[in-house]
Amino acid sequence: MSELHELGVAEASKAIAAKTISPSDLVEALLVRIDKLNPKINAFIHPTAEAAQAAAKMATEAIAAGRSQGRLHGVPFAIKDIYDTAGVATTGHSKLYKARVPQQDATTVAKLKAAGAISLGKLATHEFATGGPCFDLPWPPARNPWNLDHFTGGSSSGSGAALAARLVPAALGSDTSGSIRNPAAYCGISGHKPTYGLCSRGGVMPLAQSLDHVGPMARSAEDCAYLLTAMQGADPRDPAAADRQPENFTATLDRSIRGLRLGVVRRWHERDMTGDPAQIKAFDEAVRAIEALGAETRELDMPPLAEIDACCRTILHAEAFAVHREDLRTRSMDYAAMTRMRVLAGAALTAEEYMRAQRFRRVLTLRMTEAMRDVDAVLCCVYPAPAPEIEAMAKGPAMAFGPRGIASPFNITGGPAISVPCGFSAKGLPLNLQIAGRAFEDGMVLRVAHAFQKATDWHKRAPAL
């Protein structure tokens, strides 16, 4: 068997069920690795070693006695520090809430624990899931395990770093304009933004509530499907959570993609942006690999990225300012400078501008839905280049909003989208493929991603640490 830290969710689940390893074995191996590597990666800000050991002991005893709670019983995960965790600090990676200790778990955390998963602790994020990377916060920013001088992507930065470094097989992230898929792209892991409303945001710090999504991050699409199956469901704590019949997202993963119709969107990285040649080559090779599996592809046009991005940013800034207005009024200097600047941008927006953006969002959604009418899923990039250097990302107002990526279209529509690795640059940095779909067709998106990953090994590669 591989070293225990190399096991993904599905592999760990099967090994625990077969009793070839125990939850205690796995948790101990990961805690040793966290102690060794986290000081240079900064992925964890609140490890919970003692609680994890106690939970692992209970899981080991229960499974040995034939009382398994299901496929996630004994599988470790870690949590972006905007998800409430009972008795464990939930800070938003911010000085403002450094001492905040919730009394109740976020709904998705509770669901994973109810399925038997074991929390290893809280992960770094960009402050309140927005500005970053910042060096003027109580904890340093997470660093990219493929090259510590490079950016992880954000805002689920600790989740991406912890997964790439094999500190944990699964993590929770959030995505308002790409914050699951961006670190997945830069860190060479798999991150799935579910359909809006599929997973409850109850107990998760909001950023922009009409754009916020919560979802799984892991090594593979299969692992994401294991997690998503447990995380989904209606919740009175989140009025936007959809009341739908639960799906087993692993049940359809192995269906052939032969005959599926896939739209390929190149305009966003060829006409609207200037893509890095290595990323464009890797994307084209990924498309060919998917075609070799029998899928039919066709070029698909979409609205200009500048229109989508402007709409998304207007909504995001207006809603984020509404969330933070009181703290900005009373404690503005406790925010990191970059966060403060980003959130204050919403103060300049009028109600009319916000409503116009929301109306335009509907227009964009209809246009993108119409473009996708005759295809089963869409292929595009998340970012048209590998990860930049972290120091450059932390500088000055010009960089504070970061390079535009290609994640926001699917926050606007609310449809599902996953980022998976599809190659490496000459400097050894991960390159990315995004697969997106129509609302509540998460199973289709995961199926295409899984087929690609069965045919390639990019997701199996790990950084040398």
Domain encompassing residue 41 = 4-307+338-460
Q: Is the pTM of this model over 0.95?
A: yes
Radius of gyration of the chain (CA): 20
Which tens digit of pLDDT belongs to each residue from 46-101? 999 999 999 999 999 999 999 999 999 999 999 999 999 999 999 999 999 999 99
Q: In the predicted model, is pLDDT for residue 399 greater than 60?
A: no
Point out the catalytic residue in the list 156, 179, 220, 408: 179
Residue 313 within a domain: no
Let me know if residue 277 belongs to a domain. Answer: yes
Does the pLDDT at position 351 exceed 90?
Answer: yes
**Six-digit token string for 57:** 């002991």
Core vs surface per residue 278-299: b (16+ CB within 10 A) or e: bbbebbeebbebbeeeebebee
Q: Is residue 330 part of a domain?
A: no
Q: Is residue 447 part of a domain?
A: yes
Q: Answer whether residue 314 is part of any domain.
A: no
Give pLDDT, residue 395. Answer: 73
Q: Which of 24, 155, 157, 159 is catalytic?
A: 155
Cα gap 135→151, rounded to integer Å: 13
Distance CA 99, CA 88 (A): 10
For residue 2, the model assigns a pLDDT of: 64
With contact defined as beta carbons under 8 Å apart, do 53 and 28 qualify? Answer: yes
| In-domain check, residue 384 | yes
Question: What is the arithmetic mean of pLDDT over 188-198?
Answer: 98
In a domain, 321, yes or no: no
8 A C-beta contact, residue 125 and residue 93: yes
pLDDT per residue over 210-231, tens digit each?
Answer: 999 999 999 999 999 999 999 9
Residue 155 annotated among the catalytic residues of the structure: yes
Query: Is the pLDDT reported for residue 149 higher than 50?
Result: yes
Examine residue 64 and state whether it is found in any structural domain, yes or no. Answer: yes
Marked catalytic residue, from 13, 22, 80, 220: 80
Residue 159 is among the residues annotated as catalytic for this protein: no
> First-to-last CA distance in the chain?
20
202: CATH: 3.90.1300.10
How much is the pLDDT for 397? 42
* Residue appearing with tokens 């870690």: 78
Output the average pLDDT for the chain: 96
User: In the 8-state DSSP scheme, what is residue 83?
Assistant: B
Domain count, the chain: 1
